[in-house]
Structures are given as structure tokens and as C-alpha cells.
Structure 1
């Protein structure tokens, strides 16, 4: 009887351990799949996954997993490890003018598209580009980038769909440059990092927005006009006197361009 009781207890223990392991895996499935990569223009990680880039390491299996603390261009990830999101896949940090395959690109109006393997609540998306005089044969550091994002949009915690597109204007460049796209998650401390190796022709988008014709009024801004009677919180953007401003913190009745709370975006 004692032997049977011990055997029964042992089997119960095995069953409980297996159940606990299964619940742990299941409970963390959403977190593990909450990733994304830039699929157009194709990122360095995606080109590794497609075997266009070689000697990439484990990123070939999960180009969506370049996750690290958010806060860029602050001290979120070390210099020299920007492409690998702080060393997640260190092979991605190798940098030279001919190390990586490049995607053809023109300056001007472009559509960038992310593919998400899970739809995380989102704080913001932001994009950076290397300086005109950057050195492609040196490690990728903050000093190689223009640290004011050329495109930034706040989602306020909304959950995106599987495909997320951004209509943005790429600054004028020629030759080889790197674009860094960052997806900041709202309900965790992390973000997802993707770099694009772009070869610019020196021209502009062959189908640019023609803009207003002669005598037509200026188009409305993509951001609402500032109102002296509205309450704004940190991250809110407004247009005022032909410029765009971002609130650094809560504000009411303070005029953009005069009050410190407002940061000039463009």
C-alpha cells in the first residue's frame, strides 16, 4: 500500500510539473510573439531571413525579435549595437560599406510598412537616418545619425493591425545610408528596432506629392491647430503659425513658440 501511495504521489508530481510547464508556455505565448519587422523597404533583418544577407546568426529565424529597452535616442541601447538592438543578434552590428545588401530608394515621399507577429499596444513609431557625411565603415553609433526623427507618430496606446503603414518623407540623400525604424510599445518598457540599408540614387521619389497648384489654399496640416482653450498632454502635437509643435508635458493656454512646454518639431 505504501509503495502504491508513493507511486501515485510521484505520478501526480510529474503531472503537475508538466501542467505547470504547459501553462507557463501558454501564458507567455503572447509576450513571445509580440514582435515585428519592417517588410517594405526590406530591413537588414528581413533580408537575413530571406538569405539575401549571409552570416547573420539566429536572426534568420526571427527577424521580428530585435527587442530592447525603449528610449532611443537616449541611453536605451549601446552605441555600436544599434542594428542588433543591444546585442540580441550581434552579427547584425558588423558594419562596412559592402557588408550588407541594399534596397534601392529615392528621397521624398515613401511608404514604409511593418509586419507585426502580434499587435502590441503602441506608444509611438519613430524613424532616423544617417547624416550626409556619415562613415559606413565605422560602427553604427548615435553620432552617425541625425537624432531628430524625420518621422514620428504617437498612437496613444492603441493596438495596431498586423500591417502598419507610414506615409513619410525621406530626407534628401545620395549613396549608401541607413534608416532606423523604432516601434515603442505602450505597456512594456521595450521597443523593437529595425535598420534598413538603403542605396539612394540622389534623386527624389518619381511620383512626389505635387502639392497645391497656383492660387490654391494651403492644405490643412496633419496635426490640429493649437487652441488656447484646449488641454494638451505630453506627446500631443499641434500646428501653429505654419509650424508643428509637440507638448513636453501637460499644458493649457500656453502658446507654441513662446512657452517652454512646446518643442518645435518642424
Structure 2
């Protein structure tokens, strides 16, 4: 009995479909991590993360996917092109905009410091590398290789091992003053790409303004803190930092920080900003604890082995969190899949 073959047109469609399926399978085998290994620099907070937190503005897609800035690896010999380093080769073009005042700066200092990544998928890793701008770089020109010292000031080689979802490298940060940019690169194993984050940091000393003095809290509620400080001669504005992350600017000497969690301690500092956008040294640290019970501890304790979906609530380190989407093993921070709730 002769076999019945498909008609020529159908046969051609089947062959094409089979070829596409085979190609997709090969891509998945050869590059298993390119579509799911995502992450961003969390500390110091990256430019894109501050976009997500509505501290940096006019960021377009970077505000929604700070973890997705992906470019060829191999910097400085390879990697993103000059002028497109911050955007990871135009993944998020807005991030390439560069002036001395375009981006919020995070207070930072030289010496032994932890640098931490939030990884959405902690795949096999080649290395974490960190570069910093030269002391005399031009903050009003696009970021290029000439902007940076091209020898990493810190590098951690994992040689194919998988890091934790919140991975910290202890680095010896070189001495700088004023506004600088840190370029952080996470290179995956078995993939041609790396994830790129830049952080805008201020080492102080970039401005001749005095640091704000007499930082106090004048009002504290369950979910807000009002701060006051003494005026600084020559300051055009003030940058307020909570837990070392910029949360807002003001032209007055008072600022109210809202959206906080009850019965939780926060640290605050304030820096004065001059007319060229340079920041003074930070004020003395003020620690404030919000009032009220707020239900802290009423949800199950977060577990690294439990699968959570959007809407699941947990308690971690005496703070309540709610999952935005499916997650497992991702430590709650309030800046990732987990959002802080009362």
C-alpha cells in the first residue's frame, strides 16, 4: 500500500515550519540565558533604577525595565559604543542624555564599599566589573571610553558559577571628588551579551557650599516624615536622601517624604546644590522612626523556597511587602518585584 504524501504546497509549509522550530531550538540551546537573565545595579542606585522610582524623570522605557539594559560584552575592547554606554547601545536612548544636572546623584565615598546587583534571574556568570570616570571627565559631554579609567577598579570573577539574586561585591573605590559615574557590567556565561548599569554618584567636595546643618524632623506620622534644616548661603536647591537614595529636591529648607511604612526606621541626609548642579557634602545623618503599628508582622514570613504570585503578601525584616508578579527566591527590597505596603 503506497503512503499518501502531503500536497506540494502543504509539504513546503511543513518544511518551513520544521526549519523555524529547529532554529529556535538551537538558539535556546546555544544561548539559554539571553532572554531571561536580567538585572540592575541596586546600590549605589543606578540611573535606570532612579527612573523606575520616579526620582529621575523623562526616562521613557528605562522607568519600566531597568533590568533590561543589555549590550555586547567585552568592555572596553567591545561592549556598547561610545556615546551609547549608559543606554546599553540604545536599549534605552534617554539614558545617554548627559549634563552635569540631568541626573540625580547618590552620595558616595571612596574606600571599601559594597556594590550590589538585583538579579531577576541569577544565571551562570563570568564576572562583575566596575569602572569609574576620571577625576577630570566632562559631565556635559556624552559618556565615552575617554570618560573612564579603562582598568576596572573592581572585578569579581565567578567563572560560570551562579550568584544569588541579590549579589554584593565588596570593592575598594578610588578617591574622587564631586560628580562621577560608575559603570557596572554583569557578564553572563554562555551568552554574547552583558547587562549594563550606570550610577551617578557624588563624592562631595565638588561644590564650595557648606553642608546643610541642623537637620531635624518636625512632624512624623505612620507614613510620612517632614524634615527641616538651616539654609545654606549660595544654594539654589537641596537634594534629600533616604537610606542613601535620593528621594526628592526642594528649593526650600523643608521637605515631606511620604509613602513610608509605619513603625520603620529611616535615615536621612540633605545636600545643598549650587547653580552649576554640584552638590555639597551631605549633612549629618538623621534617623527617624515612623509611628503606629501598621500591621507589621501580620503576614507570613518571606521564604526563599516559596513560589509567590502577584498579590501575595509577606513580612521580611519587619517590613510588609506585596508581590507584583510571579517570583521565587527574590529577596524583598521594595525596589524590585516586591513593593512595600502598610
Give the deviation of 1:31 after TM superposition: 4.4
The residue aligned with 1:93 is 96
Q: Provide, for residues 160-210 of structure 1, a one-character-per-residue CA deviation record: whole Å limited to 9, x for no partner.
A: 11011011011100100000000111110110110000011249xxxxxxx
1:118 correspondence with 2:121? yes
Q: 1:29 to 1:46 in 2, by over 3 A?
A: farther
1:105 correspondence with 2:108? yes
- Pairwise mapping of residues 1-266 of structure 1 onto structure 2 (< 5 A)? 31-202=34-205
Conserved 8 A contact 2:33-2:188: no
Measure, in 2, the Cα distance between the counterparts of 1:78 and 1:97: 21
Q: Provide, for residues 208-230 of structure 1, a one-character-per-residue CA deviation record: whole Å limited to 9, x for no partner.
A: xxxxxxxxxxxxxxxxxxxxxxx
The residue aligned with 1:263 is none
Higher RCO structure, 1 or 2 (CA under 8 Å, sep 6+): 1
SS at match of 2:61: helix
Measure, in 2, the Cα distance between the counterparts of 1:167 and 1:147: 19
RMSD: 2.3
Q: 1:106 to 1:70 in 2, by over 3 A?
A: same
SS at match of 2:138: coil
Q: What residue ranges of structure 2 are gaps of 5+ in the alignment?
A: 1-16, 206-280, 282-342
The residue aligned with 2:270 is none
Conserved 8 A contact 2:34-2:191: no
Measure, in 2, the Cα distance between the counterparts of 1:168 and 1:113: 10
Q: Provide, for residues 23-74 of structure 1, a one-character-per-residue CA deviation record: whole Å limited to 9, x for no partner.
A: 99xx899743310001111000100011100010101111000111100011
Q: Normalization by structure 1: what TM-score? A: 0.65
SS at match of 2:127: strand
Q: 1:147 to 1:65 in 2, by over 3 A?
A: same
Q: What residue ranges of structure 1 are gaps of 5+ in the alignment?
A: 1-15, 204-266
Give the deviation of 1:145 after TM superposition: 0.3
SS at match of 2:50: helix
Measure, in 1, the Cα distance between the counterparts of 2:151 and 2:59: 29
- Would you identify which runs of 4 or more consecutive aligned residues in structure 1 move more than 4 Å? 27-31
